[in-house]
Amino acid sequence: EALGPTITVGEILVEIMATTIGAGFLEPQPLTGPYPSGAPAIFIDQVAQMGGSAGIIASVGNDDFGRLNIERLERDGADISAISIIADKPTGSAFVRYRPDGARDFVFNIAHSAAGDVRMTEAAHALVARAGHLHIMGSAFAIPGVADILENAIKTVKRRGGSVSFDPNIRKELVDAGRGRKLVDDILAVTDLLLPSGEELLIAADSADEATAVAKLLDGGVSEIVLKRGRDGSSFFGRDGARVDSPAFTVEEVDPTGAGDCFGATYLTCRRAGMEPERALLLANAAGARNVTRRGPMEGVSSLADLEAFIASSTTESIHA
Ligand code: ATP
Ligand code: MG
């Protein structure tokens, strides 16, 4: 923490949700939103909520969707100095509707929006120059030019003695498409903390099972892996066979989007503050669980006091049950 803020790079969006369950957007229907969103934005907002210093390199349009996001991030204590306002592009957006089986239909405006136009401005260089930790979001790989921005930020942060975390929340097809694989491997080579969810672990390691994937990544130089398992909680894997499994909290899931980002931000911020993996996992599970109880991806962010109160009043389900 003393070294400088946790920073990330990537998309800022609004999310607009269907209020009914069903298939897609082929007829008029009730919607709710806009809600602040974008995995990197949710992550950095949660770091700030936890009292960590936090900044983001991103772009929004000169419109209410952009202002809504900037106001939220600023209110929650994030450094917004490296968010560019792009005059001739709208803020990115995602319309989402849930199907009865939990699958989602989307209409995205990202690639041709401000979200897809991240720029290395003077303010962005200044943020990188004082950063102590870089968190890389796989979702941002879709942004043209992001590989160069990340390469520069990795070098600067590592030169200062800082660290790197990586959430490979990236579609498998994007990894398999040649350039994606190289980018993932280049980032894994400098990753200190890896935060995959479910089969992202196997995709990142290019392995067939969990144990092989974990061994391969730790051998490759990653110092800790924290695997997100949704309703089954999470696991920590460290050097020399260290392992901690932590059960999920029992909550009513209203909106699962953003759980992984709140989880990762909480785990990282706790570790940067010097907490042991076991305590960091418990607080991160609580942050993921709290987030899914609220509609809107960034509406369920938590302070440390929120998490402690939630843990004190909750029960967990054993993942070995
Ligand atoms: P996202 O949907 O944001 O991409 P993710 O797939 O990266 O999420 P998850 O494993 O779904 O990550 O969620 C992260 C953590 O949040 C889990 O490890 C768990 O602790 C908690 N969590 C998620 N969903 C639930 C749930 N339904 N009940 C309780 N805890 C949950
Ligand atoms: Mg995820």
pLDDT at 316: 63
State whether the beta carbon of 184 lies less than 6 angstroms from ligand 1. Answer: no
**Strands, E, within the chain: which ranges?**
6-9, 13-18, 31-37, 54-61, 83-86, 92-98, 104-109, 133-137, 163-167, 193-194, 224-228, 234-238, 243-246
Dist. CA 267–CA 193, nearest whole Å: 10
Provide the 3-class DSSP secondary structure of residue 196. coil
Q: How far is the CA of 126 from the centre of ligand 1 (A)?
A: 33
Pick from 203, 250, 263, 316 the residue to mutate for probing ligand 1's pocket: most ligand atoms within 8 Å of its CB.
Answer: 263
pLDDT at site 315:
67
State the Cα–Cα distance between residues 293 and 89, nearest whole angstrom.
Answer: 33
Establish whether residue 97 lines the binding site of ligand 1, counting it when its CB lies within 6 angstroms of any ligand atom. Answer: no
| Burial classification of residue 25, based on how many CB atoms lie within 10 Å of its CB (0-12 exposed, 13-18 middle, 19 or more buried) | middle
Which residue is associated with the tokens 């390199």?
57
Q: Does the beta carbon of 104 lie inside 6 Å of ligand 1?
A: no
Question: What is the 261 CA–ligand 2 centroid distance (Å)?
Answer: 7
**Cα 105 to ligand 1 centroid, rounded to whole Å:** 19
Q: Do 92 and 109 form a contact (C-beta atoms < 8 A)?
A: yes
Q: Which residue has the tokens 């009292």?
A: 51
The reported pLDDT for the residue numbered 17 is 97
Predicted local confidence at residue 231, as pLDDT: 96
> Considering every ligand atom, which ligand is closest to the CA of 297?
1
Q: Compute the distance from residue 298 Cα to the ligand 1 centre, in Å.
A: 14
259 lines ligand 1 (CB under 6 A): yes
Residues of the chain with pLDDT under 50: 318-321
pLDDT of residue 319: 45
Residue nearest to atom 29 of ligand 1 (CA): 289
CA pair distance 84, 125, nearest whole angstrom? 12
Do residues 296 and 255 lie in contact, with contact meaning Cβ atoms separated by under 8 Å? yes
pLDDT of residue 180: 81
Cis peptide before 34 (omega within 30 of 0): yes
- Contacts (Cβ under 8 Å, ≥6 apart) of 100: 21, 22
How many other CB atoms sit within 10 Å of the CB of residue 254? 13
Burial 39-73 (b: 16+ CB within 10 A, else e): bbbbbbbbbbbbebbbbbbbbbbeeebbebbbebb
Closest CA relative to residue 68, chosen from 93, 47, 88: 93
Q: Which three-class secondary structure state does DSSP give residue 89?
A: coil
Alpha-helix residue ranges (DSSP H) falling in 132-229: 146-159, 172-176, 179-188, 200-205, 210-219
Q: Find where tokens 């991240």 sit.
A: 118
Q: Is the CB of 258 under 6 A from ligand 1?
A: yes
Whole-structure pTM value: 0.96
